[in-house]
Structure 1
């Protein structure tokens, strides 16, 4: 059933390529955000559960 419906779509091979590009770009952007993050802010958020304020 699924095989027949997918084979009827023209240019169906582009969908896995697009999904892989979205997946890779998301994790690349996430990695850039992590490495560019302010270290003071990360340290502050890390210590918040331990503070008794």
Structure 2
């Protein structure tokens, strides 16, 4: 089965570019994500990290 797949893929012209493109997309995404995390402002991070706690407090206050 694996031999059939290898022979079939060898017959496709230009197939060697797809793994390179996939690796580039993966690498660029995580480099961009890392850059965003490093440059994010502390106030924004604190605000976003407190959202679940704020929502929980609001729901508890509404029940009372």
Quickly name the TM-score band, shorter chain normalised: 0.7 to 0.9
TM-score (norm 1): 0.76
Instruction: State yes or no: 1:48 paired with 2:51.
Output: yes
Q: How far apart are residue 44 of structure 1 and its match? A: 1.6
After superposition, the CA RMSD in angstroms is 1.5
Unaligned runs of 5+ in 2: 59-64
Q: How far apart are residue 7 of structure 1 and its match? A: 1.8
Larger Rg: 2
The answer to which of 33-42 and 6-15 deviates more is: 6-15
User: Which residue does 2:38 correspond to in 1?
Assistant: 35
- The number of aligned residues is 53
Unaligned runs of 5+ in 1: none
For each residue in 1:1-53, what CA deviation from the matched residue of structure 2 results, as whole angstroms up to 9, or x when unmatched? 53343222112111111110110000000000111111101112222333435
**Relative contact order: is structure 1 or structure 2 higher (C-alpha 8 Å, sep ≥ 6)?**
1
